[in-house]
Chains A and B, each alone.
Chain A
């Protein structure tokens, strides 16, 4: 029982990272039907910006955090303007290939420039250390990540439900044509959505760095696959659903390999894809209600 609980607690940190990514992913997915595989690269470059701030300029952690977010926003914005804007309105497969192409270009550039070795990412002092509750170990960084995720989740829900921009986003996701007819500046709303989702990627990138203590130029792909599957399972455009499913995928993946024999640990990705196929075959609209709610 303790073993089980420990596995679940271990997964909470990664669950937070995936939940944030899935929330950001599902926003652009819901609003312009974009399967944005380049989102993983936004995430990865945010992590690299934070890495350089720590290792070259020795900046304090809050500044590193903010610069990571700013870098993600810039990267996300540039990718949106240069690749997705010109193909907007094309069919979904074209959008998919464009996103995949952009992702492969940016990832290979990053591997070329920064190489693909693990880069160590230092933890701020106040997050070091751990608590022990009986046999169960609880790291301070895990607690911090879960708290950050919860706060951001609440902020996002407030943003989408109560503010003007949130209402605009929801209306575009329900019916883009009608919102345009009613005089909404849909281009502006799309840009703001991209900025919000990129900043979520930046936050997730910093959290990933402090969680694993290392980052890698090719880490974006796994993360974006998790985020995509979580957003499909949570219902496209549903932020709460995506975040819950992000946690579910991380915890489920950990439990899956916890009960496998040790020489089959590499099969972890089978769990995610297995769940994905099951969901798509039995509940194609996701477990929660679709559209930004």
Chain B
């Protein structure tokens, strides 16, 4: 503990963690209703955007099949967290009795679901070995549709298109933002570590990466496993916020929103993903009342279902035409100026 650098970094972490906990505590106490929901959705979107960023931007395999991963993970978790009364109430649900009659706490259910999602996600590495560019994109689209079709057509396990309801209300600010902040931190650290740089090199030039001695299969598997683990957690948290689950929940529209986040924010940038999540969350939630019809100054407007998707698509196309690299490009927002400022303060204090 004599080394000032250790003390400096220790203080930094403690202050950072304490301020984050304090901010979350304050927000948890004072936010309610619409703003609470908005804040939770924002956190979930950050989780989804950063985890999609790992495969789509860093490693260069543009996936729109993460909906299938979320679907698998969400169903597995649903079997564990749904109350036994609901599971036994559905007649055509044929599950083993130990699943029907137990209800897990959230953490083990979340971990089991995410682990299952990871296993499903690693399957996506198989097409990634052979397919390139848009063939891979279409392959993942097919993966998404296949998962959806299977979930719809095995009503003995998933209750078919009717879906599952009566989820316990587990999602709160602590879960969502705990995972989101962990993921932001992990992402920023990863970007500077060997593994993260290996991911980025594979995305830029796979042949060069292979020549430099990077094991392509190994790092592709790592990237897909990491991405699908956190995507699964995001999907599970979303389900326990919306409180119902049906096979079309994570369709192309849902994934398209997440893709829009990382394209608008900047492919390959963590801060860009956070910004994109903020923009898209505000966009969709603010326009949601417009979609359901409203009246201004005596004029009543009919509901415009799908309006947010239309505007979002137009916004995305405009971004792709005018600024294809997104808001941030591959850069990050640096906090260096803050560090320099603090250091100068400390120096001044020591000398003066």
Contacts and interface: CB of A to CB of B under 8 A. Distances in A.
Contact of B130 (A108, A111, A280): A280
A107 to B, nearest CB: 8
Nearest to B316: A101
Interface in A93-119: 93-98, 100-102, 104-105, 108-109, 111-112
B150 to A, nearest CB: 8
Nearest to B135: A280
Contacts of A95: 134
Contacts of B279: none
Contact of B317 (A90, A101, A263): A101
Interface stretch (B97-105, B137-145, B213-221, B293-301): B137-145
Interface residues of B, number: 37
B149 A270 contact: yes
Given A93-B137, A269-B146, A100 B310 contact: no
B174 interface: no
Contacts of A277: 127, 139, 142
**Interface residues of B, dominant DSSP:** helix
A58 B306 CA distance: 31
A266 interface: yes
A117 to B, nearest CB: 13
A32 interface: no
Contact of A228 (B138, B152, B321): B138
A92 interface: yes
Contacts of A111: 305-306
B130 A104 contact: no
Interface in A249-282: 263-264, 266-267, 269-270, 273, 276-277, 280-281
A86 B256 CA distance: 21
A85 to B, nearest CB: 9
B142 A97 contact: no
Interface residues of A, number: 37
B309 A108 contact: yes
Contact of A92 (B131, B134, B253): B134
Given A112-B304, A266-B153, A273-B142, A93 B313 contact: no
B45 to A, nearest CB: 18
B137 A112 contact: no
Contacts of B149: 266-267, 269-270
Contacts of B304: 112
B135 A104 contact: no
A112 B307 CA distance: 8
B320 A87 contact: yes
Interface in B7-42: none
A232 interface: yes
B307 A98 contact: no
Question: Which of B130, B131, B253, B321 has the most CB atoms of chain A within a 10 A radius of its CB?
Answer: B321
A97 B316 contact: yes
Given A101-B316, A112-B305, A266-B153, A276 B142 contact: yes
B142 A267 contact: no
A35 B64 CA distance: 15
B310 A93 contact: no
B123 to A, nearest CB: 11
A92 B313 CA distance: 18
Interface in B266-319: 304-307, 309-310, 313-314, 316-317
A91 B135 CA distance: 13
Nearest to B313: A105
Contacts of A213: none
Nearest to B148: A269
Contact of A93 (B134, B139, B142): B134
A281 B253 contact: no
A284 interface: yes
Given A105-B317, A112-B304, A284-B130, A90 B324 contact: yes
Interface of A: 35, 83, 86-87, 90-98, 100-102, 104-105, 108-109, 111-112, 225, 228, 232, 263-264, 266-267, 269-270, 273, 276-277, 280-281, 284
The 5 A-B pairs at the shortest CB distance, nearest first, are namely: A105-B313, A108-B306, A273-B142, A86-B321, A266-B153
16 contacts: A83-B321, A90-B320, A91-B133, A94-B320, A101-B256, A101-B317, A105-B314, A108-B307, A109-B310, A112-B304, A267-B149, A267-B150, A269-B146, A269-B149, A270-B146, A280-B127
Given A269-B146, A284-B135, 18 more contacts: A35-B137, A35-B138, A92-B133, A93-B137, A96-B62, A96-B133, A97-B62, A97-B316, A98-B317, A100-B64, A102-B313, A102-B317, A108-B313, A109-B306, A111-B306, A269-B149, A277-B127, A281-B130
